[in-house]
Chain A
Amino acid sequence: MEHPGDQAPSPRGFFRSWRRLYAAVLLTAFSAYVLLFVFSRIFAP
């Protein structure tokens, strides 16, 4: 049985393609690592 999501599974809104959404995930993850590094350096010098 075919589902609508099989053929046109793009996310809506700003993330018009899966590629953009994946890029946003990876960018957010990288930002989180940087923020944790800054947090570490501020409070645990």
Chain B
Amino acid sequence: MQPLDWIVVAAYFGLIITVGYWTGRGNRGLEDYFLARRSMPWYAMGLSVMATQASAITLVGTTGQAYVDGMRFIQIYFALPIAMVILCVTLVPLFYRARVFTAYEYLEQRCGPHTRSLTSLLFLFGRALSGAVVIYAPSVVLSVVFSLDETLTILIIGGFATIYTALGGMRAVMWVETWQMLIILLGILFCLGSVIWGLPEEVSLGEALRLAGSTGRLETLSFDTDPRQTYTVWTGLLGGLFLMLSYFGCDQSQVQRYLTGRSLRESRLSLIFNAFAKLPVQFVILLTGALLFVFYQFERPPVLFDPVTLAETRAAQPEAMAAMEARYETAFAERRTAALDYAEADGVSSEAALKERYVAADLAFQETRAEAVRTAAEVKGEPWSDTNHVFPTFVFTQLPPGVVGLILIAVLAAAMSTVESELSALSTASVVDFYRRFRNRFVRGPTSDRHDLIAGRIGILFWGTVATGAALYMGRLGSAVEAVNRVGSFFYGPILGAFVLAAVFPNRGARRAFPAVLCGVAAVWAADLVPRALGIEGVSYLYYNLIGTAVTVGAGLALGRVAGGDAREAGTR
């Protein structure tokens, strides 16, 4: 980090503090504090929705995933535009006209108070955990940059986001998120530009893409019909549709964004903006990771991208690591030569042979690296991968001063925007869905706006402390990308099922939504646990949302029919 980088970081904090202070003044009640006085324009909501979803994991984990595995991950987002259209037609107008604070509040009107409490509780439980993951991910970056203890960086990020969100309220958070998303987009473009700029002069962009493609890094589509596979077109469209519907339609951290709209039109347009923008943004992030792979064909990457683990592994097994690193050096040199030969062989007769040689050299290189990763895992005594260290290593070893600062603040902005949204949503759900409904049991006399405001702030401080505390234990979850989606998937489907019952079957299944949601959660848990217990591979976690929704709706309708029959029988007696 050079002085110029520190200036960029200081300017970032100056900007968000100024915007936050300027726009966050004058909160008088919960509608001000949690829903920004329902005054936001579509572009601010649209960018805020995008910033909430784009966590630091998106930048750090996704680029690393494209480096290691290629661009197949993009298929998860295939259903996002479809989901946005469905939500604009169905749930968004319902929420907007019901003038609710939380998505679950709407369920009370159709399904009863217990269903509201249950779904809100499931949201609180699931999001408290994922809030921890999104605090943990950027600590990976910062611990690499400053060689700081991860615990300390988790405490700094979690603490700053918590205090800032508690003070500013929703209006401040959303305008800050708008700026943060612009910084993230700028950072993403700079990343892509920097990787392309870093390629050797003799390798053009087309040749770089050919190299990435020959090792499968640009495979974006898979038509495999196996439901156990996550990254396929069918899983993305079917499983992903239910994930996106659940996330954008029933998750308070997203619903709260578009509830702040100054009209239904603005709320709808914010989602349509995301329908158009999300796939291109995700494509650019993944392409950056794939081109990073090409960059490291010509610049020797470290045998392990995490310097701390590398030092530990070298210390624990010095002879084995020395021999391995010697083989790694040779494999890299061979692959580099083969890559250059293949890149320059466009259209010549020996192209196929050169490609074969390059692919074989890459395979040999990857095997050596995999051996080093296995050794590191043995030394650590737990499953381990350095996927999340690939991108930070590139940024902090290859990029010029100023750009490092810009990308660092993009990662910080991505992390903080997601944390802010999580905390405000968790606090809104706890205060509106629980505290305000049951406070008469604890508080005597009438309560004022000021009282509600204090409750909202305490809620944010509480959840900030929980998420930061849990983040300290998140390091063992493996790939952070998988972890966030996985935890959320357990409850998303059943909650979506409750909304389907409420909106589509208000007279048939809605009143039985409470036990139906419990059936849905049990079904998802069974889908996850049973295959593990039997030692077989279950369906992809993306299908959990489909299973949860289907079982909840089915159970709700079946129970509704039984109850209806009972009622008719009672009526005839």
Chain A residues packing against B (C-beta within 8 Å): 3-6, 8-11, 18, 21-22, 25-26, 28-29, 32-33, 36-37, 39-40, 42-45
- 13 A-B pairs with CB atoms under 8 Å apart are A9-B264, A9-B268, A21-B272, A25-B85, A25-B275, A28-B81, A29-B78, A29-B275, A29-B279, A33-B78, A43-B210, A43-B218, A45-B213
Which residue of chain A has the shortest Cβ distance to B79 in the bound complex?
A29
The answer to whether B264 and A6 touch across the interface, beta carbons within 8 angstroms, is: yes
Contact between A25 and B264 (Cβ–Cβ < 8 Å)? no
CA distance A6 to B94 in the complex (A): 11
7 new A-B contacts at CB < 8 Å, known A10-B265, A22-B89, A36-B74: A5-B263, A5-B265, A5-B266, A6-B264, A25-B85, A39-B220, A43-B218
Q: Could you tell me if A18 and B88 are in contact, using CB atoms closer than 8 angstroms?
A: yes
Tell whether, in the assembled complex, residue B263 and residue A4 are in contact, meaning their CB atoms are under 8 Å apart: yes
Bound: A44/B78 CA distance, A = 20
How far, in angstroms, from A8 to B265 measured CA to CA in the complex?
8
B262 neighbours in A (Cβ, 8 Å): 3, 5
Contact B263 A25 (CB under 8 A): no
Counting CB contacts under 8 A, is B216 at the interface?
yes
Residues on A with C-beta less than 8 A from B220 are 36-37, 39-40
Any chain A CB within 8 A of the CB of B82? yes
**Known interface pairs A36-B220, A44-B219; A26-B85 also in contact (CB < 8 Å):** yes
Cβ A3 vs Cβ B263 within 8 A: yes
**Cα separation A31 to B106 with both chains bound (whole Å):** 36
Q: Closest B residue to A9 by CB, please name it.
A: B265
CB distance from A39 to the nearest CB of B (A): 6
Q: Is the interface of B mostly helix, strand, loop or mixed?
A: helix
Interface residues of B in 249-272 (CB under 8 A from A): 261-266, 268-269, 272
Given the interface contacts A6-B263, A6-B264, does A25 sit within 8 Å of B272 by beta carbon? yes
CB-CB under 8 A from A26, the residues of chain B are: 81-82, 85
B13 at the interface (CB under 8 A from A): no
B212 at the binding interface (Cβ < 8 Å): yes
B144 proximal to A (CB < 8 A): no
**B221 at interface, CB cutoff 8 A:** yes
> Are A39 and B218 in contact, CB atoms less than 8 angstroms apart?
yes
Q: What residues on B are CB-neighbors of A4 within 8 Å?
A: 263
Residues of B within 8 A of A22 (CB): 85, 88-89
Tally of B interface residues using CB under 8 Å: 36
Bound: A43/B88 CA distance, A? 36
For the complex, give the distance between the alpha carbons of A9 and B89 in Å: 12
Interchain CA distance A11-B82 in the complex, whole Å = 18
A28→B278 CA distance, assembly (Å):
12
- In the assembled complex, the Cα of A35 lies from the Cα of B529 at a distance in Å of 38
Contact with A along B5-25 (1 / 0, CB 8 A): 000000000000000000000
Interface contact B85-A6, CB-CB below 8 Å: no
In the complex, which of the residues B81, B218, B269 contacts A44, with contact meaning CB atoms closer than 8 Å? B218
Chain A residue with Cβ nearest B212: A43
Q: Top 4 A-B pairs ranked by shortest CB distance?
A: A5-B263, A43-B213, A9-B265, A5-B265
Residues of A within 8 A of B272 (CB): 21, 25
Interfacial chain B residues near A8, Cβ < 8 Å: 265
Instruction: Contacts A6-B264, A18-B268 given; indicate if A37 touches B85 (C-beta within 8 A).
Output: no
Shortest distance from the beta carbon of A34 to any chain B beta carbon, whole Å: 10
Closest-CB distance, A22 to chain B (whole angstroms): 5
The answer to whether B264 touches A44 (Cβ under 8 A) is no
User: B505 an interface residue at 8 Å Cβ cutoff?
Assistant: no
B182 contacts chain A at the CB level, 8 A cutoff: no
Please, which residue of chain A has its CB at the minimum distance from the CB of B280? A32
- CA distance in complex: A15, B199 (Å): 42
Within 8 Å CB of A11, what residues of B? 265, 269
- Tell me whether B522 is interfacial, beta carbon within 8 Å: no
Q: Would A37 and B81 count as touching, CB distance under 8 A? A: no
Provide the residues of chain A in CB contact with B88, threshold 8 Å: 18, 22
Q: How far is the CA of A42 from the CA of B214 in the complex (A)?
A: 10
| Closest partner residue, chain A, to B290 (CB atom) | A43
